[in-house]
Amino acid sequence: MNTFQRYFLFTLFCFLLLTVGFAGGYLINPRSLTNSGDFPVLGEAYKILDKNGLTPVAESPNLEYGMIRGMLQAYGDPYTVFVEPVQHELETNSLQGSFGGIGVRFGRDAENQLILYPFSGSPAREAGIQDGDRLLAVGDLSVLSDTPLDTIQAALRGAVGTPVQLTIARPPDYETVELSVRRAEFPIPSVAWHLEATEPRLGVVEVNMLSANTPTEILNAFQELRNHGATGFVLDLRDNGGGLLNAGIDTARLFLKDGTVIEQRYRDKEVEVYRVDKAGELIDVPLVILINKNTASAAEIVAGALQANHRAPLIGSPSYGKDTIQLVFDLVDGSSLHVTTARWWVPGIEPPLAENGLQPDIVIAPQDDTNGADAAIQAAINVLFDSGES
């Protein structure tokens, strides 16, 4: 266990001492289960299976991972989850908002082989990677047609400035070439923005997750839209499954002059209150927020805090309703355990979030979109402009 971060995820992610003891002791050497005093039934079952099973018992880490998942299933919390090393690394990259990589996108050729397309000015391009090169290996990892893409992505990523060895096959003769590519930092944007085509005074800021960089990205987006004539704004949190707790709190603070963002409580601890300490940079912008059933956790913090503080109305359908906090514990092999350790709430939001989600001020059902029009955007236009605001 090296570090932990607070964050929420849509399919997320107290049992910590048991888990660490289980994974760190019994599971590192599965055969030690036969001598276990703490889990006698498990040890007995393992011994029987190992001795009598038709096929050999799976070796670590598959056996360990299966045992951990079984333990969490018995624990019964849908947001306390185990994440294998590759997925944990990619997830961490996304939440940090950047990663060390080589700058390529992937494709498949007619033989279903993975091919590379380096970005202009990327380390891959500078190292000699060409459009259409087949990727055969990343270091010691052989890249086959059925190798999972996330496994390949994780192998390509690493610390900024470190080299990664690639083996490629170059068309048309598919001669094998070995190259060393030095990784560089690449941002993972969490925010996109545009002027609404049907109402150019409306700036739309879409936030797909809450990462460490999101508050800064939102400030930049609002400034760009203002520079292009926007006078009213939509913060689109639809299909945003959450992200970092602090990013959600800091994003809400951008729009608030004062008040409380959330309150939270860990087991056996006093309630913690997150307030607005100073007026945010965007307290005066006319604003509405779009939500739907996939708006969850940290995104619900933003929407709920702004609704409860009467800063912006919510438009759309009820949100997901995830009001718990997970701590992420790194395990020794690069995997991680996401443990539900606290609950949060927005003062003034009733009923409890987990029961019904956030309730929009203006309800827009998905089926209300007709002829390709976005009914929630149209409702935002009506609120911001037809009411006389500009």
CB-based burial, 152-165: b 16+ in 10 Å, e otherwise = bbbbbbbeeeeebe
Same domain, 71 and 203: yes
Interstrand relation of 175-182 and 163-170 (parallel, antiparallel or unpaired): antiparallel
How is residue 178 written in tokens? Answer: 């070995």
Same domain, 137 and 174: yes
Are 147 and 88 a contacting pair, CB within 8 Å? no
pLDDT value at position 98?
A: 78
Domain holding 165: CATH number? 2.30.42.10
CA distances to 203, 283, 294 from 279, rounded to whole Å, are: 22, 7, 29
Question: Could you report the per-residue pLDDT of 293-338, keeping only the tens digit for each?
Answer: 999 999 999 999 999 999 999 999 999 999 999 999 999 988 999 9
pLDDT value at position 5?
A: 43
Are 272 and 38 a contacting pair, CB within 8 Å? no
How is residue 174 written in tokens? Answer: 């598919």
Boundary (domain end) residue, out of 151, 171, 187: 187
Boundary (domain end) residue, out of 166, 187, 208: 187
Helical spans, DSSP H, in 280-363: 298-308, 353-356
Same domain, 19 and 137: no
pLDDT value at position 180?
A: 96
Profile the chain (390 residues) by mean pLDDT over runs of 10 residues.
39 34 38 62 88 86 89 93 88 82 88 90 92 95 91 90 95 94 89 93 96 96 97 97 96 98 96 97 98 96 98 97 94 92 93 90 80 86 75
pLDDT value at position 371?
A: 61
Same domain, 285 and 383: yes
Same domain, 170 and 242: no
pLDDT value at position 13?
A: 35
Q: Which residues, at least 6 apart from 30, have a Cβ–Cβ distance to it below 8 Å?
A: 46, 57, 60, 63, 64
CA distance 158 to 132: 23
Tally of CB atoms within 10 A around 324:
20
Same domain, 11 and 148: no
CA distances to 10, 27, 187, 303, 329 from 320, rounded to whole Å, are: 8, 35, 28, 12, 25
Q: Supply the range of the domain harboring residue 113.
A: 99-187
Same domain, 381 and 292: yes
Same domain, 145 and 62: no
Number of domains, the chain: 2
Same domain, 67 and 112: no
Quick check: helix, strand or coil at residue 252? helix
Same domain, 51 and 122: no
Q: Where are the beta strands (DSSP E) in 175-296?
A: 175-182, 184-187, 191-196, 199-207, 232-236, 260-266, 272-275, 287-291
pLDDT value at position 390?
A: 43
Same domain, 26 and 152: no
The model carries a pTM of 0.76
Element (H, E) at 158: none
How is residue 143 written in tokens? Answer: 């890249």
Boundary (domain end) residue, out of 187, 212, 244: 187
Question: Could you report the per-residue pLDDT of 49-77, keeping only the tens digit for each?
Answer: 989 999 988 877 888 899 899 999 999 99
Burial class (CB in 10 A: 0-12, 13-18, 19+), 185: exposed
How is residue 202 written in tokens? Answer: 């409306």
Reference 65, options 82, 81, 52, 51; nearest CA is 82
pLDDT value at position 288?
A: 98
Are 362 and 266 a contacting pair, CB within 8 Å? no
Same domain, 204 and 249: yes
How is residue 39 written in tokens? Answer: 């889990």
Domain holding 334: CATH number? 3.90.226.10
